[in-house]
Structure 1
Amino acid sequence: MNDDYDPAETSGFAEAELLTFSAFVDGELPEHERLEVLGRLAADARAASLVAAYRAQQAALRALCDTPSGAGGAARPYLVLRVRKPWWQRVAIAACWVAAGAGLAVLVGSLSPRLAWQPSQMAFAERADIAYAVYAPEKRHPVEVAAAEEEHLIAWLSKRLNRPLSVPSLQEYGYALVGGRLLPGDAAGPAAQFMYQDGSGARLTLYVTAIPKDETAFRLFRDGNRRTFYWVSDHMGYALSGQLSEERLRAIAIDVCSALGGRPDVWR
């Protein structure tokens, strides 16, 4: 019998990589290593999905156990890694997981729709947040195609996503289009990122990708001082990311949703 926990989603990753992902989620990596992981996640959809699953697991168990956050606002992650432990620890952990699983089933069943989450949607919001963290600070190469070639940019990304895209204007909020780029997605296909910037240099990004399952929910994903409002409309996932206040970013996201043909009135 194998004493190590080896979930299918971790297959193909070395133990050192899993430990690095764990430290990344826990906020324990040095800055240069954290940036390296961000770059890896922006280019590797499978790694990004794994990290998203780890964070989702952490959030669910934190809600179950009511685990307080640390001084830096980040709670310890409950991640299962392929690290061998003494037999008595493995038995204790197994018992805890049985109890947690039973409690988690009750918890998930009692959560309101507002707090519910779908793994695939959490994953695309995670990828949008990572893409913002990687490319928004870029000075020389924030986009692949600049706003001066907006017509070409839209045609190119529409072709790659196999869906007609449009770029909403954020001029009334003081943000001008910088340009956009193509990003790796998941099994549903690649993603597009459009970047905006205001007069002070602050940036917002709009992430767009295909989503097999449609719904009308509107949710917030937060990582540190970065916020991402994300929603699904007509089998397309949209995520607006930035470092604005939650209230202001939500207002902009509602207008963006309307401009793209969504129905924000159903979740206002």
Structure 2
Amino acid sequence: MNNDENTTGSANAPDLRALSAFVDSELPESERAAVREHLARDPQASAQVASWRAQKAALQALCGAPEREEPPFILLRARIPWWRRVAVAACWLAVGAGLALALGPLVPRLGGGNGDVMSFARRADIAYAVYTPERRHPVEVVAAEEEHLINWLSKRLNRHLSVPSLQEYGYTLVGGRLLPGEAGPAAQFMYENQGGARLTLYVTGIPKDETAFRLFRDGNRRTFYWISDHMGYALSGPIEEDKLRSIAIEVCGELGGRPETWQ
């Protein structure tokens, strides 16, 4: 195995404590820039940061804790050892797994699809619910760095990705992020209109292939999802169902799918 600068074990690579401080926005901007450069080269560290961010956002969403402005005073606190943070995260993962087992039978199987195919739609819906309320950190990489965003996520998903334009529908790209998927990495692209409403496109690899087009609902959120060439796509948002369907059909065609085969 190569022990070059692209591995987490290199001498210049940030340790877990630095990565944790990066997630908590506790590093100076000069150090944050160095960590961002390292994450672009190190898939393992990037996945770790994405996992921590997902856990943090999920806990904020569950607890209803809004983001607060920085206080006008300096707060000194003891730094929790990284191993303890990892242990706490593991406990939350265990709790999440238990909740998933307990609540799984209560989730409606909408659209006639089987659970294996629909599972990524559920993940897309949860990712939408967690990240779209964020005002300061809705994405990991902003739209101004679109080329870097596409190259990074394409490398992580081992598949060339492209970002469809939704300008004709009044939505512009905010940016994107890496997420843990069912059996590998997933990508989320976020869009926003002038009124602040947001849509997300979730992309992940899928073992099976089919041409079905389905709808998943959770409250006022709707997700149209489909599979094309072993890639699962899910467009999520709270907008009117017919409009979201029209956008999903446009997105499918732009990404090389065949929406004309949908029944």
What is the TM-score with the length of structure 2 in the denominator? 0.62
Q: In 2 relative to 1, CA 46–170 (structure 1 residues): closer, same or farther, beyond 3 Å?
A: farther
The residue number in structure 1 matching 2:31 is: none
Residue 134 of structure 1 deviates from its aligned partner by 0.5
Residue 159 of structure 1 deviates from its aligned partner by 0.2
Q: Are residue 35 (structure 1) and residue 30 (structure 2) matched?
A: no
Q: Distance in 2 between matches of 1:45 and 1:165?
A: 32
Q: Does the Cα contact within 8 Å between 1:183 and 1:193 map onto a contact in 2?
A: yes
The residue number in structure 2 matching 1:162 is: 158
Q: Work out which of the residue numbers 127, 135, 139 in structure 1 matches 2:135.
A: 139
How do 1:93-112 and structure 2 match up within 5 A?
none
Q: Work out which of the residue numbers 116, 140, 148 in structure 2 matches 1:120.
A: 116
Q: Distance in 2 between matches of 1:198 and 1:231?
A: 24
Q: Distance in 2 between matches of 1:230 and 1:45?
A: 28
Residue 38 of structure 1 deviates from its aligned partner by 10
Moved >3 Å (runs of 4+): 37-40, 43-58
Q: Work out which of the residue numbers 179, 197, 204 in structure 1 matches 2:175.
A: 179
RMSD: 3.0
Amino acid at match of 1:171: Q
Q: Distance in 2 between matches of 1:125 and 1:49?
A: 20
The residue number in structure 1 matching 2:185 is: 190
Q: Distance in 1 between matches of 2:137 and 2:95?
A: 25
Q: Does the Cα contact within 8 Å between 2:111 and 2:216 map onto a contact in 1?
A: no
Q: Work out which of the residue numbers 100, 124, 132 in structure 2 matches 1:51.
A: 100
Q: Are residue 223 (structure 1) and residue 218 (structure 2) matched?
A: yes
Q: Distance in 1 between matches of 2:96 and 2:225?
A: 20
Q: Does the Cα contact within 8 Å between 1:184 and 1:190 map onto a contact in 2?
A: yes
Q: 5+ residue gaps in structure 1?
A: 1-31, 61-113
Q: Distance in 2 between matches of 1:53 and 1:120?
A: 17
How do 1:60-75 and structure 2 match up within 5 A?
none
Q: Work out which of the residue numbers 246, 252, 255 in structure 1 matches 2:250.
A: 255
The residue number in structure 2 matching 1:106 is: none
Q: Are residue 266 (structure 1) and residue 258 (structure 2) matched?
A: no
Q: Distance in 2 between matches of 1:200 and 1:191?
A: 28
Q: Does the Cα contact within 8 Å between 1:231 and 1:238 map onto a contact in 2?
A: yes
Q: 5+ residue gaps in structure 2?
A: 1-57, 66-88
Residue 54 of structure 1 deviates from its aligned partner by 3.9
Q: In 2 relative to 1, CA 213–47 (structure 1 residues): closer, same or farther, beyond 3 Å?
A: farther
Q: What percent of counterpart residues are identical? A: 68
What is the total number of aligned residue pairs between the two structures? 181
Q: Does the Cα contact within 8 Å between 1:125 and 1:239 map onto a contact in 2?
A: yes
Q: Counterpart of 2:217 in 1: which secondary structure?
A: strand
Q: Does the Cα contact within 8 Å between 2:111 and 2:215 map onto a contact in 1?
A: no
After superposition, the C-alpha distances for 1:64-89 in whole angstroms (9 at most, x for unaligned) are: xxxxxxxxxxxxxxxxxxxxxxxxxx
The residue number in structure 2 matching 1:206 is: 201
Residue 51 of structure 1 deviates from its aligned partner by 3.2
Q: Does the Cα contact within 8 Å between 1:56 and 1:119 map onto a contact in 2?
A: no
Q: Distance in 2 between matches of 1:176 and 1:146?
A: 12
Amino acid at match of 1:259: E
Q: In 2 relative to 1, CA 44–210 (structure 1 residues): closer, same or farther, beyond 3 Å?
A: farther
Q: Distance in 2 between matches of 1:145 and 1:211?
A: 24
Amino acid at match of 2:203: V
Q: Distance in 2 between matches of 1:46 and 1:215?
A: 33
Q: Distance in 2 between matches of 1:49 and 1:218?
A: 30
Q: Distance in 1 between matches of 2:143 and 2:102?
A: 34
What is the TM-score with the length of structure 1 in the denominator? 0.61
Residue 120 of structure 1 deviates from its aligned partner by 1.8
